[in-house]
Amino acid sequence: MPFHFVPGIHPPNPQADNESTGSAWWFVFIGRQLVLQQATLTPLQVRALAPLGLDARRTQYLGQLNGQPCYGAELPEDSVLPPQLVARELRSLYGVLANDWLDLAGLAFQILEWDRTHQFCGHCGTPTQAAAAERAKRCPSCGLSQYPRISPAMIVLISRGDDILLGRAPRFRPGMYSLIAGYVESHESLEACVVREVQEEVGIEVANIRYWGSQPWPYPHTLMVGFTADYAGGDIVVDPHELTDARWFAKHQLPDLPSEASIARKMINWFVGQS
């Protein structure tokens, strides 16, 4: 099916009209689990959730997919699904669900998380209201606007000839290594973040920092920004608070790596494919 998604904040008609006139796509979550149709493993395409016995505690309009409205919805943790539906951890669906579906599910997850965590003004504590003209929550008392959060993080493939620097974080499964990564700090450029994180985590210097590509990662609102860099000096000194190990690997003798869905893996695959 071709995907043509147009983001929006106002349903084309009041939701009640949609319920009577046609179906919508629903990206329904129970915690981090996405609810899918058991038979097809695709998101729900229904007029409304209530006839399925589902009682959403929050709903957010996302936009239109091929002319049909799309909604994100959050169900209580103790919801009981009808037998034709199944809930799967969103992360487990990479490689199972088409990337276009995953992108919309990630968008729904992030918008729902933002709605859940911005019910009150962060400045004065007044309950927020949805802004009329943009995806924002506005405080009716002091006027503060709160937008969906996006947290930029850099990830860097450092090479030395045909070798790649890979590190192991304590949370990784046994034997797995990945690229060096870290969140951008306040008032810091992405390039400065690359230099700082590499220096902090593995103690080496890098040069020739080049943008590679980016990937949203909705856990819960990260934007991974990928760079490549050349080794420029120093010996590896691992920060034990961040990593349990870091070392150079020949590009044709790599250890266990992150999933194919991750930008880290895509960058490593790209480097290995370079002649």
Compute the residue count for the chain.
275
> In angstroms, what is the minimal distance from the CB of 141 to Zn ion?
5
- The CA distance from 64 to 8, in Å, is 7
Q: Which is nearer to Zn ion, 45 or 126 (CB)?
A: 126
> In angstroms, what is the minimal distance from the CB of 140 to Zn ion?
8
Radius of gyration of the CA atoms of the chain, in A: 22
> In angstroms, what is the minimal distance from the CB of 138 to Zn ion?
9
Q: Which is nearer to Zn ion, 38 or 141 (CB)?
A: 141
Write out the residues near Zn ion by the rule CB under 5 A. 121, 123-124, 126, 139, 141-142, 144
> In angstroms, what is the minimal distance from the CB of 117 to Zn ion?
15
Q: Which is nearer to Zn ion, 107 or 121 (CB)?
A: 121
Q: Please confirm whether the linkage preceding 220 is cis (ω < 30° from 0).
A: yes
Helices (H), the chain: 15-21, 99-117, 190-202, 263-273
Q: Which is nearer to Zn ion, 139 or 204 (CB)?
A: 139
* Structure token pair of residue 119: 């019910």
> In angstroms, what is the minimal distance from the CB of 144 to Zn ion?
5
Q: Which is nearer to Zn ion, 41 or 124 (CB)?
A: 124
CB-CB neighbours of 83 under 10 Å: 6
Nearest to 104 by CA among 34, 174, 171: 34
